[in-house]
Amino acid sequence: MNFAQEAAKLEQAKLSEQKVMDNPLQEFEVTLKSYGLEPNHIDVTGYGTFKRIPSNVGGKRSKDSGWYWLEQAGDTMFACYGDWHVGDNNYWQSSNAKRLSPDERKALDERIARTKALHQQHLEQLRDKAAEKAATLLNQLEDANTKHQYLRDKGASVYKGVKTDGKFLYIPVYIQNQIRSYQKIDAKGNKQFLYESETKGGYFWIAGTTSTDIYLAEGYSTGDTVHRATGASVLVCFNASNMYEVLLHFRTIDKDTPVTIAADNDHHNNDKKCGNTGLIYAEKCVEDFAGVRMHYPENIKGTDFNDMEQELGLSQVKRVLNSYVPRFDILPVHDMDIKPTDWLIKNILPNVNLGLLYGASGHMKSFLVFDMALSIAAGIDWHGNKVKEPKSVLYICGEGFSAITKRYKAWVHAKQITEKLPFFMTNKAVHFLDEGQRFDVLSDLTYFMAQNGQKEYPALIIIDTLNRNFGDGDENSTQDMTNFVAGCDELHHKTGSMIFIVHHSGKGELATARGSSALRASLDVEYQVTMKNIEEFEAGIQPANIELKCTKMKDAEAPKSMLFEHESVNIPNVFDEDGEPVSSVVLHPISSQKVNSSEIRNLIDQDVAFNAKAKNNKTDFALLAIKDALINTAAGMLGKSNQKAGVFVQVPIDDVTTRYRAICEREKLDMSSMRKLKSRAIDSLVDMKFIDALGSNTHYVISNKEVIKKINQIIDERFN
């Protein structure tokens, strides 16, 4: 990617939004030409005086269908402009209004609002007069016949309502079953709507004869060809953009009947600014409305189905219109190839659109994401999971700015990395609900990549945290969260980067991420971070025991949970004001053996009698109760005999069960449920190697060194 060119384009777009032009007349002329109008010069007409000008809107050239009025207010100007064929109204205001004081701007806005209201009233009056004129004239004219030169040249028929004055054809324009205008066609096919009439959403109806199907076509002769080829009803819409308006109204009346667009193929405009308007608007109809399909002529010199009839015959038109065009591709799965997952970190982080890592405050979730990000930037495997090659990473930092440098220095020192990594960060949060800030961060990123010789956007963009980068909105609002996700999607589509969000867990509920469920529904991958021993860690009793658990993996198998511990790493040659080394945290995975030892020590240190959390959770209570029963039964049995636990201890199952029951009854728990939970608790103790696998119906066997140590400690305290 040429980042220099991209940066220039974005900067130009930004400047065009911010730029204040000193010549409002010139600025308005540029606006009109951008729309497709062709003014020779600009006059300040004042409100109410419509100036007619040539138009080429949508590639349809007309000598006077364009119009505008232009009003002046001091040094500023405002206007309205459009094309009578299209039937729209576009309001404009000169950019120098940005220089006005707040009070001046308020006064101008109020004046513009009043003028808009007057303009709408004026337009309605003009259109009503034009509609009355159209109905009167059409009522006076004779019915047309096929002798008219235009109809003879097109091979077209005459339908009810089409009139003639001997020179022109008059096609009525209906809106909501009322005549609002007409289209006048001369012998050469030049077309003109009634001056100042309403045409937006207008149509002419050709009733079906042998089919109940409904088609939409642009022009009269095209509609005639479609009708003769199909026997179907046809809504003649007069131009491409109006097909959308006609269909919009039709769907308010009939939501279910299938509709086919017989589109013009304006291939001669493919390389022009307006583009292939026939296909553009037809495709928009297909995209925005259910039950709509489209056909269009191909491989002809002309553009529409009447041209195809003239060139290739009506049979070819029938073949195209009767062909089936599916809206969806339905494919045989057997013949489909499997696309391998593209991984940033194999089996952990797929290269997808959107991911999330969440956890409670203080559970070191940012350290885990940081560890992943730097492994990707360095191109080194992430704790046994392959990273193919170094890729750049952008860290959108919403909090803890000062700590990022320390984390980076500590991490590269711990990993013995000396080269400069393609790891970049912002110096402040980006509010993703703010379109302007999204534009700015993309512009700044593009410029930065160009200045630093990068050839592609970062593979990974991290947003830490969602809350700090959300903007002015409510995380619990479905609409606001949907807009936030849309902002992330926009950044992904423009950069190709995976967007990875760091987020907080729900209040009082560690199992889910905070806020609207619209977020999770949009994710490709999700992880939960939990410090298993947060209370002990905060009390300084134990080192951190951090679990990374995959809670969603959309298109691959979820990896097994991983456990990490933290290490404090001194940063070389960096000292605080007291001369003490500055340090930061680096995470390391805990080995399976160490995991078991840590879990067992943690379990041993918890006393069922004083654990308030366990009393509110019967599963946790059962685990602590059976643990206490095992240790105290073994200690009591050996202590009474003046013995110590050796390499292993055999503890009678019945004695342990009796003690377990006593603990449960002391807390007035229902024994029917606690018996079932006891069995699960025993299985958990076997899994963590607290006790040996069950090989006897009469005794539990304990050989774990940590448990043996605890048993002997109790014997010393009670019996010696």
Q: Output the DSSP codes for 441-490.
A: HHHHHHHHHHHTT-SS--SEEEEE-TTTTT-SS-TT-HHHHHHHHHHHHH
CB 253 within 8 A of CB 246: no
pLDDT > 70? residue 597: no
pLDDT > 50? residue 586: yes
Q: Which helix (H) or strand (E) holds 507?
A: none
pLDDT > 50? residue 305: yes
213-269 per-position pLDDT tens digit? 999 999 999 999 999 999 999 999 999 999 999 999 999 999 889 999 999 999 988
Q: Which helix (H) or strand (E) holds 359?
A: strand 354-359
**92-116 burial: b if 16+ Cβ within 10 Å, else e:** bbbbbbeebeeeeeeebeeebeebe
Q: Which residue has the tokens 């992880």?
A: 527
414-432 per-position pLDDT tens digit? 999 999 999 999 999 999 9
pLDDT > 80? residue 635: yes
Model pLDDT, residue 43: 92
pLDDT > 80? residue 599: no
Model pLDDT, residue 676: 84
pLDDT > 80? residue 328: no
CB 83 within 8 A of CB 67: yes
154-202 per-position pLDDT tens digit? 999 999 999 999 999 999 999 999 999 999 999 999 999 998 899 999 9
pLDDT > 80? residue 2: no
The proportion of the chain whose per-residue pLDDT surpasses 70, expressed as a percent, equals 94
In single-letter form, the type of residue at position 687 comes to D
CA distance 271 to 264: 16
CA distance 695 to 477: 55
What average pLDDT does the chain have? 89
Classify domain 605-719 by CATH number.
Answer: 1.10.10
pLDDT > 50? residue 524: yes
Model pLDDT, residue 509: 46
pLDDT level of residue 593 (50, 70, 90 thresholds): low
Q: Which residue ranges make up each domain of the chain?
A: 18-99, 134-322, 348-532, 605-719
Model pLDDT, residue 538: 83
pLDDT > 70? residue 594: no
Q: CATH 3.40.50.720: does it fit domain 134-322? A: no
CA distance 568 to 583: 6
Computed over its alpha carbons, how large is the radius of gyration of the chain? 38
pLDDT level of residue 321 (50, 70, 90 thresholds): very high
Looking at domain 348-532, its CATH superfamily turns out to be: P-loop containing nucleotide triphosphate hydrolases (3.40.50.300)
pLDDT level of residue 20 (50, 70, 90 thresholds): low
Which residues, other chains included, contact 489 with Cβ-Cβ below 8 Å and sequence gap of 6+? 353, 354, 499, 522
Which residues, other chains included, contact 690 with Cβ-Cβ below 8 Å and sequence gap of 6+? 600, 603, 627, 630, 702, 704, 707
Model pLDDT, residue 693: 79
CA distance 590 to 598: 9
The counts of H helices and E strands in the chain are: 21, 28
Output 76 or 540, whichever has higher pLDDT.
Answer: 76
Model pLDDT, residue 532: 82
State the Cα angle at 370 between 369 and 375, rounded to 5°: 100
Model pLDDT, residue 88: 78
pLDDT > 70? residue 47: yes
CA distance 406 to 584: 6
pLDDT > 90? residue 621: no
pLDDT level of residue 595 (50, 70, 90 thresholds): low
pLDDT level of residue 700 (50, 70, 90 thresholds): very high
Model pLDDT, residue 591: 62
